[in-house]
């Protein structure tokens, strides 16, 4: 019997959720071990043994260990049975990888740290949002949303007509962005992406991985 995989991260984390979505879509029995890396005490020493840069998530499957979300989700797709989460055609698979790269390089930080954290998390913790940071981040977010909708074209999913790792990578970011007034307005102004997000939000894997901010 194959050992039960363990995912180390935080349920509220975008990147932990991306990995969880891959596990959920493949119907893998896994354990989520919460690791608080944002406390005043810093990253736990034990976690630094799993990830030298102190990030989340990390993944353990028997004696095999991985860090970096893209590596983890590709491994999950290829190591476990179930529907493939990567297109067979080189062109579509290349587009999937391009979308994931755009999300990591350009979308994540402004959408999450620049908009969602400032507009939702900071006030919940008693702070005042940095409006200049939100304004600056919105400029980049607009470019990202426009580019992603263009890449999606007329397809049901982001990279073709079947669910792929690109959709799982994007959805947690867009669900958090949608929790802000600015982000929701931006998404709704791009109808194809708004429809895609509505379809993704209705998937059982999304329901099973909802964070504290979505309840």
Q: What is the mean pLDDT of each run of 10 residues along the chain (215 residues)?
A: 90 98 98 95 94 97 97 98 96 97 98 98 97 98 97 94 97 98 98 97 97 91
Q: In which order are the strands placed within the sheet that holds 64-67?
A: 31-34, 6-9, 58-61, 64-67
Phi first, then psi: what are they for 161, rounded to 5°? -100, 10
104: its two tokens: 């990591």
According to the model, what pLDDT value does residue 215 have? 79
| Residue 8 and residue 47 in contact, taking contact as beta carbons nearer than 8 Å | yes
- Domain boundary at 23, 52, 79, which? 79
pLDDT for 94: 97
* Number of domains, the chain: 2
Q: Which of 156, 67, 70 is nearest to 105 (CA)?
A: 70
Q: Which of 84, 87, 105, 83 is nearest to 96 (CA)?
A: 87
pLDDT at 1: 54
Q: Is residue 170 part of a domain?
A: yes
List beta partners, residue 58: 8, 67
| CATH code (residue 32) | 3.40.30.10
State the pairing for strand pair 6-9/64-67.
Answer: unpaired
Helix pair angle (14-25, 165-177), 10° resolution: 140
Q: For position 117, what pLDDT does the model report?
A: 98
Q: Is residue 29 located within the same domain as residue 127? A: no
Looking at the fold, whether 74 and 171 belong to one and the same domain comes out as no
161, 66: one domain: no
**Residues 69 and 28 both lie in one domain:** yes
- The domain in which residue 103 lies consists of 90-203
Residue 96 and residue 72 share a domain: no
């Amino acid at each position: 019997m194959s050992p039960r995989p363990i995912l180390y991260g935080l349920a509220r984390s975008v990147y932990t959720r991306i990995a969880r979505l891959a596990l959920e879509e493949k119907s893998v029995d896994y354990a989520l071990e919460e690791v608080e890396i944002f406390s005043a005490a810093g990253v736990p020493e034990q976690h630094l043994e799993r990830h030298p840069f102190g990030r989340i998530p990390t993944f353990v499957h028997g004696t095999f260990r991985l860090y970096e979300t893209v590596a983890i989700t590709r491994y999950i797709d290829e190591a476990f049975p179930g529907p493939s989460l990567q297109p067979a055609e080189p062109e579509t698979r290349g587009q999937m990888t391009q979308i994931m790269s755009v999300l990591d390089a350009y979308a994540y930080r402004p959408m999450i740290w620049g908009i969602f954290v400032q507009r939702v998390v900071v006030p919940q913790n008693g702070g005042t949002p940095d409006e200049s940071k939100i304004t600056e981040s919105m400029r980049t977010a607009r470019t990202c949303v426009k580019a992603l909708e263009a890449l999606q074209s007329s397809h049901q999913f982001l990279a073709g007509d079947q669910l792929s790792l690109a959709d799982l990578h994007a959805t947690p970011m867009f669900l958090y962005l949608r929790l802000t007034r600015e982000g929701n307005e931006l998404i709704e102004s791009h109808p194809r992406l708004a429809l895609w997000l509505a379809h993704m939000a209705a998937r059982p894997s999304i329901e099973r991985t909802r964070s504290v901010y979505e309840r």
